[in-house]
Each structure stands twice: as structure tokens, then as C-alpha cells.
Amino acid sequence: MKKGKFTALFFVICLCAVQIFCLFKPQVEFSENENRNLQTFPELSLKTVFSGQFMKQFDSFTADQFLFRDHWVSLATRELLAIGKRDNQKTYFGKDGYLFAIDTIDNSQFSKNKELLREFLQKIKQEHPDIRSTVMVVPTSSAILTEKLPYGAPVPDEIPLIEEIGVSVDGLATFCNPVPELQAHTGEEIYYRTDHHWTSLGAYYAYTAWAKTQGIVPHDLQDYEIRTVSDSFLGTTYSKANLSSISPDSIQTFTLFHAPKPSMQVNTGKEIKYFDSLYDESYLSKKDQYSYFLSSNNPLVSIETGVKNGKTLLVLKDSFANAFLPFLTEEYERILVVDPRYQRSGILDMLQQETITDILVLYNIVNFANDTNLISLVR
């Protein structure tokens, strides 16, 4: 009995020592592995204590700043797999090394966003009838690579929601549904295994669907120089699992032969950066390698394509557009890219300030359904 008490006491002392060490060790503010800000030590005041805010943030602080945190996450994942579990409540462990985000749909927010999109498109049609609007809503890998999911894994029914948006915008915009094109190529690497985004190849097949809705003949794959720029990409779903046995993804770029070389100006909200391509090479040496496309998500990106046809495309988007837009550079002289999550006003004003000929709204369905920033479309 005494031996058991001593063991328990020793364990408690060790646990307390680790917690005290976490309080005084240098705090990590950002996790590259998880691509998110970590909770630092919360503000201690009477107000935060009595409101409960301090303890809530302190719990997050101890979880985020725990010693060897990434190691423990990886160990927990391996233990779940060993007992036959196919998820860790954040990620499904699929077949062939595929990791799927466990997503939910906010049906109330989805309905609001659908109406906000309609309101925005109605304003465009009434006030700028010469502008051609197109909407593309993209499924996640869970809706397309269904055979890779664990058996019986519950996932949102995305495709009917995508079709519902198509019905909602009918008469106001051209609707591009990339689902059939993506479903026709499930045997190819159209989504990353370790990330929630589509690959450049998946974006290419969506481009072919888009081109057909615009009356454009899409380029064949052999029209592109395909270059692998990274073979060490471990994305967002990997970060939630931290499973060392998963092989990294490759990132590829598709560049049209004999096409003008585009450049871009990126407004981060804090500074203006200039690039002589649509890619930010610096991200290839970081954890968040998908941000190589368009230099991550920013309030405004202005692309000069080198094409001289007088057409300007305004893109309202989430991060799925970042790998998609390189396929559109031959069709427009300028492409203005706005992320409503970071540019929360002034979108309608741009239509007065710029000579916009076309609009593209491009979101993946989960982001569209859950995003609380789409009110900026009509502000």
C-alpha cells in the first residue's frame, strides 16, 4: 500500500513539475506544424478571473504549451490506430495514407451565406449588368474520394448543398459544378493525402469544367510544363494527426508553354510585396507549403498576366482558389483576388474604382457554409 502511495505521489510531483516548467519556459506563439497561433499565458485580472475567461484560456495555455506537445499528439494517434480506431476526433485515417478532416456544416450559417451571395449577385446584375458573374463551389476530398474513407465514417452530404447553391444563383450567375469532373478522376491524385486542399491536378480538372461554362476550349494536360517544386509537403490534416508513418505529398506547378509570364502584387494589410510569378518560394522551406500558391491568403492580390485583352477578373475566394487561378491567366489581362475573410469591406466599391469585366466566386463548400465573413460582400 505504501509503495502504491509513493508511486502516486511521485507521479503527481512529476506532473506538477512539468506544469511549473511550462509556466516558465519560453512560450511558443505559433505552431508551424499546426499552422495556428498557440495560447500564451492569459491576462490575470479580477475581471478575467470572475468572468471565467482566465481559467478557460489557462486550460488552452497548458494544452498548447505542454512540454514535447507534438510528440504526445503523435503517440496518442499511434495508440488510437493500434486499438483499431480510425479517427482522433479531428481527422479520419483513410486508406492509402489519406487523412480526411472531420468537418461539420453550420446549416443556419449556410442559409445566411446563400442569401448573402444572392443579394451580392443581384446588386451586380442591377448596378453592373455588363459584368459576367460565375460561381464555383468545390467539394472536399471526403465527398469525392469516398472509397478512401474509413467504412461508415460520417461526413457531411456536400453534393446536395453544392447543387442547392446552383439553384439559388440561377439567373444571376453562371454556376460551375466541378463535382462530375472530379469524380471522373478519383484514381488520380486530385487531393493531397495530408492536406484538405486539392492538388494542382485537381484544380486543373476543375479548370476544364470552368472553361466549358465560359465557352472556352480548355487546354490539354500536354500543353503544360508540369514541375515538382516540393516532395516534403505535410499539410493541415497531417498536423491534426501528427502521424510520422504518413509519407509527405508533392506540390506541382502547371505552366503553359509559350504563354506570357504573370506577376503579382500582394497586399498583406501591413505591406505590399511584389513577385515575378504567382508563387512565393519562401514558403517551400516552411511548414505551410500550400501558401507557396499566391503567397498565402491576403486581403488583396493583383495579378498582371501579360495578356492584352482588356478583361479584368475579380475573384472572391477562399484558399482553394490559390492553386486554381494559375490556370486562368491566359483568359484575362488582370486578375484582382479578394479574400473576404481578410478584406471585410469595400468589395462593392472596387466595382466603381476598377474596370471589372468578370467576377468569379470560388469557395469550398465547408468554408462557404461556415464562414461568418460573407457579410462583407454586401457592405
pLDDT in tens, 325-377: 999 999 999 999 999 999 988 899 999 999 999 999 999 999 999 999 999 99
Range 254-281 average pLDDT:
98
CA dihedral (101, 136, 300, 369) in degrees, to 10, reads -50
How far apart CA 31 and CA 57 sit, in angstroms, is 17
Q: What angle is formed at CA 201 by the lines to CA 196 and CA 206, rounded to 5 degrees?
A: 85
Instruction: Select the more confidently predicted residue: 45 or 154.
Output: 154
Q: What is the pLDDT of residue 26?
A: 67
Beta bridge partners of 362: 136, 317
pLDDT (mean) for 294-323: 98
Mean pLDDT of 113-141: 98
Sign of CA dihedral 256, 262, 266, 272: positive
Mean pLDDT of 38-67: 70
Check pLDDT > 70 for residue 231. yes
User: What average pLDDT does the chain have?
Assistant: 89
CA dist list (Å): 88 to 81, 94, 158: 9, 12, 22
Residue 49's pLDDT band, with cuts at 50, 70 and 90, is confident
pLDDT for position 67: 56
Mind listing the pLDDT tens digit for each residue in 207-227? 999 999 999 999 999 999 999
pTM score, whole prediction: 0.85
pLDDT in tens, 268-287: 999 999 999 999 999 999 99
Share of the chain above pLDDT 90, in %: 73
Rounded Cα distance between 66 and 73, Å, is: 11
Cell 514541375, located at residue? 227
Question: One-letter amino acid identity for 64?
Answer: D
Q: What are phi and psi of 60, to 5 degrees?
A: -65, -40
Q: Is the pLDDT of residue 133 over 70?
A: yes
- The C-alpha cell 495555455 sits at 61
Confidence of residue 85 (pLDDT cuts 50, 70, 90): confident
Residue 14 predicted with pLDDT over 50: no
| pLDDT for res 43 | 74
* pLDDT at residue 28 greater than cutoff 70: no
